[in-house]
Amino acid sequence: MLKKIMNRSLWQGIILLTFLVFGFLHAYDNIYPSAHALCPFGGLVSIYSVITEGTFIHRTHGSSLFLMVAVILSAILLGRIFCGWFCPLGTLGEWSRQVGERMGIRKIQINGLTDILLKSLKYILLAVILYFVWSIGELFYKGWCPWSAFMTVFEPDELIEDVLMGGIILLVVLGLSLSIERFFCRYLCPLGAALSIFNRFSLIKPIRREECINCNACNKVCPVDIDLTSMETINDSNCIRCYKCIDKCPEKGAFTFNKKSLKSYQAGLIAVLVIGITIISTIQMGYWERGRRLSLQGLGSTHATMENIELEFQEITASKSIEEISEITGFSVITIIEVWDLPDSYSPLATLREVSEETGMSRRQLISILTEQP
């Protein structure tokens, strides 16, 4: 019974559906979590701001930080299992290849220097994103983010105005995934790059034992084309811990874990419990609140409630005009123009993005000025 419940494909479908439901609910009423509130990578890009200023990057929340904690805890135990079992974009990439197979599209194998150079892209993207987000305090890449596009599929206006390029990139990635399985995971995912180090140091790892008969079954099913027969312990940074190699091995005991009695579905259960318990615990302790200011002192106690969190104006996006911001915040257009130190004749139809370019202040700084108004 437990083996059926912990079927990896089943969990991939559950997680994908869950995120789509939240995307729909957020489109219906923004009281529900946004794309960035449900993205563990948002916790990583916010961590510098949380430590130095006690604030989250605009659009990220306490939830994203503690989702990242949950993902890292699972990675310490099992490596990149989040990528193989839970990530919606990874699931879409994997399913795209399955569609490609049914359509008769030939699998493309990328090897040699081309593969090495492409794999380096995700590490470059991770470094660039962290450097600029930590420097300017903005999710500058939001418009190009395929995750944002996926989560705003039920908000066509937002999709077109704010994340059109992200939508195009998502479609291109899914198109490439028809012939190159897990294209995004292999070459572009900055979260995957951040988690890859844990494959080497995780406590539980897949290993190939001496019973191996070199039938190559494991290599044939590996979604990221690792040469598994060339290694004993699977420490490769690209391994997404899907455990297909273990499940498809025809020789009993040849491919297993360093904890020999462990089964692949049991490893999945460990990840589900670690992530689930972390999320439930942080919700119960009040760390899951949406908001942009979190008391660092509160992190060390059990008293992190709404008193520790300064709510942000969640509805204010880059495409909102001053008039729309006035309606959202209750401040008059004149007051907003004054506190942002704009000319009296400044157009109330100007968007927040245009104001940011005009003043040289980030959107986060502009919104912060409004939150400080009496």
Taking phi over 0 as left and psi of -120 to 50 as alpha, with beta for the rest, 9 belongs to alpha
> Residues 116, 119, 124, 127: is their CA dihedral positive or negative?
negative
pLDDT at 77 over 60: yes
Top pLDDT among 301 and 320 is at 320
pLDDT at 306 over 80: no
Residues linked to residue 270 through DSSP beta bridges, in sequence order:
none
pLDDT at 310 over 60: no
pLDDT at 225 over 70: yes
> Residues 141, 143, 149, 153: is their CA dihedral positive or negative?
positive
| pLDDT number for residue 300 | 39
Which of the residue ranges 60-69, 94-103, 300-309 would you say has the lowest mean pLDDT?
Answer: 300-309
Do residue 85 and residue 121 come from a single domain?
Answer: yes
Given 252, 280, 308, the domain boundary residue is 280
Do residue 106 and residue 211 come from a single domain?
Answer: no
Residue range 205-221: mean pLDDT, rounded = 91
Residue type, 201: F
| pLDDT number for residue 34 | 73
Number of domains in the chain: 3
| pLDDT number for residue 50 | 78
Do residue 50 and residue 176 come from a single domain?
Answer: yes
Residues linked to residue 255 through DSSP beta bridges, in sequence order:
208
First to last CA, the chain: 58
Do residue 21 and residue 148 come from a single domain?
Answer: yes
Radius of gyration of the CA atoms of the chain, in A: 23
| H/E element, 99 | helix 88-102
Q: What pLDDT digit, counting tens, does each position of 252-300 carry? A: 888 999 987 899 999 999 999 999 999 888 887 766 654 433 433 444 3
- 351 token code pair: 């968007």
pLDDT at 189 over 50: yes
In whole angstroms, give the CA distance from residue 107 to residue 269.
31
Q: How many CA atoms, within 13 angstroms, populate the side-chain half-sphere of residue 113?
A: 0
Do residue 189 and residue 219 come from a single domain?
Answer: no
> Residues 22, 23, 29, 34: is their CA dihedral positive or negative?
positive
Residues linked to residue 321 through DSSP beta bridges, in sequence order:
351
Tell me if 326 is assigned to some domain: yes
Tell me if 305 is assigned to some domain: no
Which of the residue ranges 111-120, 207-216, 317-326 would you say has the lowest mean pLDDT?
Answer: 317-326
Do residue 36 and residue 179 come from a single domain?
Answer: yes
Do residue 233 and residue 187 come from a single domain?
Answer: no
In whole angstroms, give the CA distance from residue 160 to residue 143.
10
Q: How many CA atoms, within 13 angstroms, populate the side-chain half-sphere of residue 329?
A: 27
Tell me if 351 is assigned to some domain: yes
pLDDT at 238 over 60: yes
Do residue 18 and residue 102 come from a single domain?
Answer: yes
25-31 contacts: CB < 8 A, separation 24 or more? 26/151, 26/154, 26/155, 27/152, 27/154, 27/155, 30/314, 30/315
Which of the residue ranges 24-33, 329-338, 343-352 would you say has the lowest mean pLDDT?
Answer: 24-33
In whole angstroms, give the CA distance from residue 121 to residue 188.
6
Residues in the chain: 374
Do residue 112 and residue 88 come from a single domain?
Answer: yes
| pLDDT number for residue 291 | 41
| pLDDT number for residue 260 | 76
* Percent of the chain scoring above 70 in pLDDT: 88
Do residue 84 and residue 131 come from a single domain?
Answer: yes
| pLDDT number for residue 71 | 95
In whole angstroms, give the CA distance from residue 194 to residue 122.
9
Do residue 117 and residue 247 come from a single domain?
Answer: no
Give 3's contacts (C-beta < 8 A, 6+ positions apart). Answer: 263, 265
Tell me if 166 is assigned to some domain: yes
Q: Are 240 and 182 in contact (CB under 8 A)?
A: yes
| pLDDT number for residue 374 | 55
- 34 token code pair: 């946004």
Residue with tokens 């419940």: 5
CB atoms within 10 A of CB 215: 13
Residues linked to residue 208 through DSSP beta bridges, in sequence order:
255
Q: What are residue 293's phi and psi, to 5 degrees?
A: -125, 125
pLDDT at 173 over 70: yes
Tell me if 294 is assigned to some domain: no
Tell me if 346 is assigned to some domain: yes
Which of the residue ranges 49-53, 113-117, 218-222, 253-257 would you say has the lowest mean pLDDT?
Answer: 49-53
Tell me if 313 is assigned to some domain: no
Tell me if 307 is assigned to some domain: no
Domain with 217 in it: 206-261
> pTM of the prediction?
0.77
Which of the residue ranges 112-126, 174-188, 199-213, 282-296 would you say has the lowest mean pLDDT?
Answer: 282-296
pLDDT at 22 over 90: no
Q: Are 71 and 274 in contact (CB under 8 A)?
A: no
Q: Is 4 helix (H, G, I), strand (E, B) or coil?
A: helix
In whole angstroms, give the CA distance from residue 81 to residue 272.
10
Do residue 108 and residue 78 come from a single domain?
Answer: yes
Which of the residue ranges 150-164, 191-205, 287-301 would you say has the lowest mean pLDDT?
Answer: 287-301
